[in-house]
Amino acid sequence: MRYSLVDLRLIVAIADAGNVSRGAARCHLAPSSASLRIRQLEESLGAPLFERRARGVSLTRAGRVMLEHCRRCLAELEQMHADLAPFAGRVTSRVVLFATSSAVASFLPDDVGGFLRAHPDVRIALEEHVSQEIVAAVASGRADVGVVSWDAPHRELAFHPYRQDELVVVVPAAERPRPRDAALRFADCLAEPLVSPWTGSAIHAFLAGKAAELGKVLDVRIQVSGFAAVVALIRAGAGIGIVPRSVLRSVNCEGVAVLRLDEPWAQRRLAVCTPNDPARAAGPAALLARDLVRRAAAVPRARARSAA
């Protein structure tokens, strides 16, 4: 099948308006032209997209699937235009930054925000990935800078110390009494239903891999978007969760208990990852990498001053 952008926008407009004429008007089409386009799409698909009613139209099951994909395609196109906009003005100061879940949810918002205030002409595309994917992306050039939990050397990359973090277990405070310094092994956590970030998140992928190493799978009771929602559901008794300690600074932790995860890999030393190639390790990407390291190094000094 062949689709035009007009067809995709028309489906969204008609679905939102619940009426062919109003949807056509939003796309600057005559109702007859809009009806013809929809009919041709339905004939090509072999399934109706809309049910015609006396006072408008409603989506069929096929139409709902089509609408979801249309919205996704149009959103991707809008993002493409936004990403290309700096180049249209001959501004090439765009940096692709890949980072882990914990960095995206805790340290990076403040650090990247400060950098952007100091460099208003730079545009940053920030994506969340697991560390292995980030290292591969920076090495291959798909990303300019990475923030990873990584200890091994890499011949094409340099790693600069950034932050310290750790994975902890969050449980309902009323579930059962435990001493404050209580710790759980990961295998014990796998015996409990989990509240987890969504499947595509870096931390979910990391924990699923650790479970697979033990020959087990995660018993995910519910998945949500965002660590605040994870903690809220744990508070409500939906299960337990494993999250970076750093994200709990900005989350309401009333009604939950935070326990140490007794695993060596729970300690997370984050590093800023940059290419060794001088041609790539320059410009706005190099400015961002240096700024992230500088801001992280300033934190202990600020704490020392406040303690004094």
Domain ranges in the chain are: 5-88, 94-163+269-307, 164-267
Q: Which CATH number fits domain 164-267: 3.40.190.10, 3.40.50.2300, 3.40.1190.20, 1.10.40.30?
A: 3.40.190.10
The count of residues in the chain is 308
For Cα atoms 285, 286, 289, give the angle at the middle one, nearest 5 degrees. 85
Give me the pLDDT at residue 84, please.
74
Per-position pLDDT tens, the chain of length 308: 678 899 999 999 999 999 999 999 999 999 999 999 999 999 999 999 999 888 889 999 999 999 999 999 998 888 888 777 766 665 557 899 999 888 998 899 999 999 999 998 888 989 988 888 999 999 999 999 999 988 788 999 999 999 999 999 999 987 655 665 578 999 999 999 999 988 667 788 889 999 999 999 999 999 998 899 999 999 999 999 999 999 998 888 999 999 999 999 999 899 999 999 887 777 899 999 999 999 998 876 545 444 44
Helix (H) or strand (E) holding 212: helix 202-213
Asked if 5-88 and 94-163+269-307 have one fold, the answer is no
Give me the pLDDT at residue 177, please.
54
d(CA 98, CA 130): 9
Q: Does the global pTM surpass 0.75?
A: no
Q: Which CATH number fits domain 94-163+269-307: 3.40.50.300, 3.30.420.40, 3.40.190.10, 1.20.1260.10?
A: 3.40.190.10
d(CA 169, CA 166): 10
For the structural domain made of 5-88, what CATH number should be given?
A: 1.10.10.10
What tokens appear for 302 in the block? 């600020």
Neighbours of 243 (CB within 10 A): 25
Q: Which residues of 258-297 are buried (b: 16+ CB within 10 A; e: fewer)?
A: bbbbebeebebebbbbbbeeeeebeebbbbbbebbbebbe
Give me the pLDDT at residue 151, please.
79
For Cα atoms 171, 175, 181, give the angle at the middle one, nearest 5 degrees. 55
Longest dimension (CA), the chain: 76
d(CA 292, CA 296): 6
Radius of gyration of the chain (CA): 24
